[in-house]
């Protein structure tokens, strides 16, 4: 009787149209149900039957309904799928291919479009890049993906590197070079400095050496620093195939165990590298450092030929300065260079301590890998005096380049850091007051005031306060016009000292050369600035993900199962604590259940960075605690720990 009744159909449409709708992001759980997160405060339950039509991370519109006195949502429309291009592991069943996305909350098999070639190419456990082609919320009966590219086969020891690079769409190989790329293109007059005792200081295994130093001390106590930087732009023409390739890569990608160069290794590790006793073209700069540590206005950029007299290592130079170990300089002239550079370093550190911002020494962790990529151990490395010598010299050079570009052109690629925006500055001031540290918003949003704040925090040496203030700070960025770098404490800063490894430095090289040669400069576009920023972000995420993967492999070993680790709390999330193992740098997660068994008595306050149990603070960011490992999940690269009471 009611079948095909137009009035009933109209009524249904009317009721459907009046049903409230919400928009948000799907968040899955390990138990099969999920939530639609509308904002940071509000989320709605998605029943398991409805979760079958969506994936974690999908942006959707859903119908808001009441079911058994509870608000639930029913997915209605897909706005943006979480999966588009993705990486995953192949599973072969009955001569059909399926792929499991490499994501902790995406565990279901996705059918692959049938293709005879793919069936022959792929085997169980292989890794691939895929493209999602069908989605249930689009009216398709099932999720489906097209296989685009095989990454590698099962059991390849390089899986962590190759899969992660593919995930972030980063190059997995060095760029190809042609014969013409290895020929010097520029034949300008260059000052011959090959007789000077230039030295390089790097890690013992470094091949892409891009900076060499020579120092001379005047009778009046001033130090003249000559910085010579490798000159790849003398080989690579602007707009050439290799230049375009470098602009897309933007950086040499330094990963645990190896690097993927921005330029062909023939150039970066041989022809352009400032190897000892090899005549090399360079872009150079004379800089006078006054007795009080200030950089004088006497800055002179020029083209040169240099010949490094010796490749020194950080550890050897540090050992000799600290009077430990057996190594010593091979000649008196090399010894003199090290001694003057050491004095220059201490002079600049003293100046920066009063006038800018000093970095706190921190531990660095380096993976020790076998030749075929298997992890052996993690080595702790500290910043030693030789690292600081090079660091201070490069900072001097980059300040000088920024000033030179600003005076002569007014543009370049500048490294900027804006300190605090106004809202975060107000929050920071309010937080500091609770610790009897009185600053004004106007003060800490000025370069001078920001530097003063950082100096006060360094003296205070309270890691909790420091971590909270850093949370309010902005992130570093690039700019095509001059701007301050609050985190360093300088009015302007532009790097040019690593052109083999950074495309932004190649851009600044060309601009510096245009001033020297009185040629028309090519102003960098906003697009190239955005490409460099994005590539830096993806490189950092890839490095982090590979490290997490290697830590999961390492900590699966039996010797770590019942071991007590000292750890530092680094973050407080909604459901637990994140900490770093001090022994090896691994990041671990401590779920709430391991902290206190009654969930509603627990309060994880992310804003304060503290954990409260029944209103009493028990943990905070920067606390040192002891933990043992509970579970190491290789498939998700999650390391679960529990506090050792």
Token pair recorded at residue 306: 């240099």
Q: Which of 146, 145, 139, 113 is nearest to 53 (CA)?
A: 139
8 Å CB contact between 152 and 159:
yes
In the annotation, is 623 catalytic?
no
Q: Which listed residue (181, 197, 211, 548) is catalytic? A: 211
Strand partners, 531: none
230, 234, 239, 244: CA torsion to nearest 10? -30
Burial readout 357-383 (b: 16 or more C-beta within 10 A, e: otherwise): bbeeeeeebebebeeebebeebeeeeb
In the annotation, is 208 catalytic?
yes
**Which of the 8 DSSP states describes residue 594?**
G
Q: Which listed residue (167, 190, 249, 501) is catalytic? A: 501
Token pair recorded at residue 254: 């330094």
Q: Which listed residue (102, 126, 181, 202) is catalytic? A: 202
Q: Which of 308, 305, 304, 306 is nearest to 275 (CA)?
A: 308
Q: Which listed residue (210, 243, 545, 548) is catalytic? A: 210
In the annotation, is 314 catalytic?
yes
Q: Residue 75 belongs to what H/E stretch? A: strand 70-80
In the annotation, is 505 catalytic?
no
Separation between Cα atoms, residue 313 and residue 297, nearest integer Å: 32
8 Å CB contact between 487 and 357:
yes
8 Å CB contact between 616 and 561:
no
In the annotation, is 501 catalytic?
yes
Please measure the distance between the N-terminal and C-terminal CA atoms of the chain and give it in whole angstroms: 71
Q: Which listed residue (44, 314, 493, 619) is catalytic? A: 314
Q: Which listed residue (102, 126, 181, 208) is catalytic? A: 208
The tokens 């909790």 sit on which residue? 464
Q: Cβ atoms within 10 A of the Cβ of 204, count?
A: 10
Within 347-484, strands assigned E span 363-369, 375-382, 414-416, 477-479
Contact partners, residue 36, CB within 8 Å, separation at least 6: 22, 24, 25, 26, 27, 43, 44, 46, 60, 62, 73, 75
**Active-site amino acid positions:** 202, 208, 210-211, 314, 501
């Amino acid at each position: 009787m009611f079948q095909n009744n137009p009035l009933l159909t109209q009524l249904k449409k009317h009721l459907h149209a009046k049903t409230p709708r919400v928009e948000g992001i799907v968040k899955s759980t390990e138990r099969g149900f999920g939530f639609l997160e509308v904002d940071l405060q509000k989320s709605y339950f998605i029943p398991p039957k409805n979760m079958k039509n969506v994936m974690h991370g999908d942006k959707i519109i859903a119908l808001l309904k009441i079911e058994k006195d509870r608000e639930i949502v029913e997915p209605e429309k897909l706005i943006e799928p979480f999966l588009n291009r993705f990486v995953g592991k192949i599973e072969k069943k009955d001569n059909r291919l399926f792929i499991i996305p490499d994501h902790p909350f995406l565990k279901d098999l996705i059918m692959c479009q049938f293709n005879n070639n793919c069936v022959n190419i792929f085997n169980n456990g292989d890794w691939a890049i895929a493209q999602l082609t069908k989605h249930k919320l689009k009216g398709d009966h099932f999720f489906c993906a097209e296989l685009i590219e095989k990454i590698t086969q099962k059991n390849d020891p390089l899986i962590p590197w190759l899969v992660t690079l593919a995930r972030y769409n980063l190059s997995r190989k060095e760029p190809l070079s042609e014969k013409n790329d290895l020929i010097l293109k520029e034949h300008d007059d260059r000052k011959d400095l090959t007789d000077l005792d230039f030295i390089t200081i790097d890690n013992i295994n470094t091949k892409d050496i891009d900076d060499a130093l020579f120092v001379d001390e005047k009778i009046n106590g001033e130090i003249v620093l000559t910085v010579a930087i490798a000159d790849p732009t003398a080989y690579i023409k602007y707009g050439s195939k290799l230049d375009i390739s470098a602009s897309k890569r933007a950086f040499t990608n330094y990963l645990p165990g190896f690097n993927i160069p921005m330029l062909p290794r023939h150039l970066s590790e041989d022809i352009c590298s400032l190897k000892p006793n090899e005549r090399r073209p360079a872009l150079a700069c004379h800089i006078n450092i006054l007795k009080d540590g200030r950089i004088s206005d006497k800055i002179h950029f020029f083209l040169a030929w240099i010949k490094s007299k010796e490749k020194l290592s950080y550890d050897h130079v540090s050992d000799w300065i600290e009077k430990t170990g057996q190594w010593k300089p091979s000649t008196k002239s090399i010894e003199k260079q090290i001694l003057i550079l050491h004095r220059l370093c201490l002079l600049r550190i003293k100046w920066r301590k009063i006038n800018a911002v000093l970095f706190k020494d921190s531990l660095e962790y380096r993976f020790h890998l076998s030749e075929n990529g298997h992890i052996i151990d993690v080595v702790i490395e500290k910043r030693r005096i030789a690292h600081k010598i090079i660091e201070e010299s490069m900072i001097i050079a980059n300040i000088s380049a920024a000033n030179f570009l600003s005076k002569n052109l007014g543009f370049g690629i500048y490294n900027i850091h804006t300190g605090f925006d106004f809202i975060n500055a107000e929050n920071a001031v309010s937080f500091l007051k609770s610790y009897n540290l009185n600053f004004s918003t106007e003060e800490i949003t000025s370069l001078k005031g920001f530097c003063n704040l950082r100096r006060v925090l360094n003296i205070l040496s309270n890691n909790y306060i420091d971590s909270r203030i850093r949370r309010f700070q902005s992130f570093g960025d690039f700019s095509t016009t001059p701007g301050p770098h609050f985190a360093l404490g300088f009015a302007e800063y532009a790097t040019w000292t690593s052109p083999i490894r950074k495309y932004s430095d190649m851009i600044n090289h060309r601009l510096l050369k245009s001033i020297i040669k009185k040629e028309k400069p090519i102003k960098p576009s906003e697009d190239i600035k955005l490409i460099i920023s994005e590539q830096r972000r993806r490189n950092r995420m890839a490095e982090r993900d590979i490290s997490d993967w290697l830590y999961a492999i390492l900590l699966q070993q039996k010797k770590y199962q019942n071991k007590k680790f000292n750890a530092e709390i680094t973050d407080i999330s909604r459901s637990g604590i994140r900490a770093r193992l001090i022994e090896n740098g691994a990041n671990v997660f401590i779920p709430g259940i391991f902290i206190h068994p009654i969930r509603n008595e627990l309060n994880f306050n992310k804003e304060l960075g503290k954990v409260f149990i029944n209103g009493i603070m028990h943990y905070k960011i920067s606390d040192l605690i002891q933990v043992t490992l509970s579970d190491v999940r290789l498939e998700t690269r999650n390391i679960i720990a529990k506090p050792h009471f």
